[in-house]
């Protein structure tokens, strides 16, 4: 993993020159969202802000920020990695460390539904807003949009997500919507319905949010029948990595099949690549990039 990051300087800037964040954002080398192949490979690192620190059996795997930043830097430096999804604290650390030049930066907007809380499905917008993302020169905003038909908080989440889609579009920024049909199980734990029919229904709902869908992208789980899911929308979609519970080879096989479905443009993966079972972040990232970049043409 990257071992050349200057954390002493980072801490000094954080304490003495808060304006350095804006300066770094203004100086950042930007790039188009998509390259010539029409694909997108992003690393996700917004889990900690929702209190979701666990990876496999380690409930605090993402608690060490310095370790996370080393892993992120390793991933972002690999060929074929386009950028990152993160909350303000993570993206600003990467900015100050000089790791976001030439990368796509997507800010995470709603992290209020803390994992395991009684208000988990109240996905309030506690992170970036559209104006803040535009001011930072970032490329878009991501919003988790969980839909529980038995929970009154869902309508507030839908309204907030719709407003965010419209506001991002007004700034010509990507709105990355991550929808799920969700419910609480017998123990009170929030679970997502990953049946193709439920995911397709969530896609239909998410696609209609806001006053325009011109800048809307979808971030979707990989399920058994991705063709049926993608038949529900003409919007571009990225696949999320999900909880890394199975063997990497099984995960890669599912990603490979789903990436061949028309409309799917790439991956947004976090824990599965940043915390692989063997600890080799570079190899895990390279394997995912190989899947995303396997073909020079994307199905129209």
Q: 228 with 216: CB under 8 angstroms?
A: no
Across 4-18, 42-56, 83-97, least confident range: 42-56
For 80, counting Cβ atoms within 10 Å of its Cβ (0-12 exposed, 13-18 middle, 19+ buried), the class is: middle
d(CA 223, CA 46): 22
Query: Could you give the CA distance from residue 204 to residue 79 in angstroms, rounded to a whole number?
Result: 34
Residue 32 maps to a domain: yes
Count how many domains the chain has.
1
| Percentage, residues of the chain above pLDDT 90 | 90
Residue 1 lies inside a defined structural domain of this protein? no
pLDDT tens for each residue of 95-151: 999 999 999 999 999 999 999 999 999 999 999 999 999 999 999 999 999 999 999
pLDDT digits (tens, 9 = 90+) for 227-252: 999 999 999 999 998 776 678 888 89
Task: Using a cut of 0.85, tell me whether the model's pTM lies above it.
Answer: yes
Domain extent at residue 82:
7-292
**Residue 261: CATH number of its domain:** 3.20.20.70
In a domain, 49, yes or no: yes
- Which tens digits make up the pLDDT trace of 55-110? 988 889 999 999 999 999 999 999 999 999 999 999 999 999 999 999 999 999 99
Question: Can you give the pLDDT at residue 300?
Answer: 41
On the CB side of 273, how many CA atoms lie within 13 Å of its CA? 30
What is the spatial distance between Cα 265 and Cα 214, in angstroms, rounded to a whole number? 16
For residue 24, being part of any structural domain is answered with yes
Mean pLDDT over 180-208 rounds to 96
Predicted pLDDT of residue 248: 84
- The packing angle between helices 88-96 and 7-16, to 10°, is 120
Residue 148 lies in a domain: yes
For residue 2, tell me if it sits in a domain.
Answer: no
Burial annotation 88-104 (CB, 10 A radius, 16+ → b, else e): bebbbbbbbbebbeebb
Residue 298 lies in a domain: no
Closest CA to 202 of 230, 224, 175: 230
**Is 14 within a domain?**
yes
Instruction: Provide DSSP, the chain.
Output: ------HHHHHHHHHH-TTHHHHHHHHPPP--SS-TT--EEEEE--SGGGT---BTTBTTTT--HHHHHHHHHHHHTSTT--EEEE-HHHHHHHHHTT--TT-EEEEE----S-TTSTTTT-----S--HHHHHHHT--EEEEEEEE-TT-THHHHHHHHHHHHHHHHHHTT-EEEEEEEEEEE-TTS-EEE--SHHHHHHHHHHHHT-SS--TTEEEEE---TTHHHHHTT--S-EEEE-----S-HHHHHHHHHHHHTSTTEEEEEE-HHHHS-TTS-HHHHHHHHHHHHTS-SS---
Nearest to 33 by CA among 25, 24, 42: 42
Percentage of the chain with pLDDT > 70? 97
Round to whole Å and give the CA distance between 265 and 92: 27
């Amino acid at each position: 993993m990257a071992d050349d990051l200057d954390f002493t300087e980072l801490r000094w800037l954080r304490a003495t020159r808060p304006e350095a964040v804006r300066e770094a954002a203004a100086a950042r080398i930007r790039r188009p969202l998509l390259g010539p192949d029409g694909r997108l490979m992003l690393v996700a690192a917004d889990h900690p802000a929702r209190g979701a620190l666990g990876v496999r059996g380690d409930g605090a795997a993402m608690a060490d920020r310095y370790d996370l930043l080393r892993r992120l830097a390793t991933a972002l430096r690999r060929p074929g990695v386009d950028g990152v999804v993160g909350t303000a604290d993570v993206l600003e650390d990467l900015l100050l460390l000089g790791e976001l030049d030439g990368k796509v930066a997507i800010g995470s907007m709603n992290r209020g539904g803390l994992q395991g809380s009684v208000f988990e499905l109240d996905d309030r917008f506690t992170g970036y807003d559209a104006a803040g993302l535009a001011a930072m020169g970032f490329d878009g905003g991501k919003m988790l949009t969980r839909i529980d038909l038995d929970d009154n908080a869902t309508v507030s989440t839908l309204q907030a997500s719709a407003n965010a889609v419209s506001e991002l579009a007004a700034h010509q920024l990507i709105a990355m919507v991550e929808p799920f049909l969700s419910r609480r199980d017998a123990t009170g734990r929030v679970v997502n319905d990953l049946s193709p029919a439920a995911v397709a229904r969530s896609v239909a709902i998410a696609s209609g949010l806001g006053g325009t869908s011109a800048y809307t992208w979808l971030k979707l789980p990989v399920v058994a029948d991705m063709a049926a899911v993608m038949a529900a929308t003409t919007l571009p979609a990225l696949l999320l990595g999900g909880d890394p519970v199975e063997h990497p080879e099984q995960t890669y096989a599912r990603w490979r099949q789903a990436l061949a479905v028309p409309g799917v443009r790439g991956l947004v993966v976090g824990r599965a690549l940043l915390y692989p079972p063997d600890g080799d972040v570079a190899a895990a990232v390279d394997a995912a990039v190989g899947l995303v970049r396997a073909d020079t043409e994307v199905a129209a």
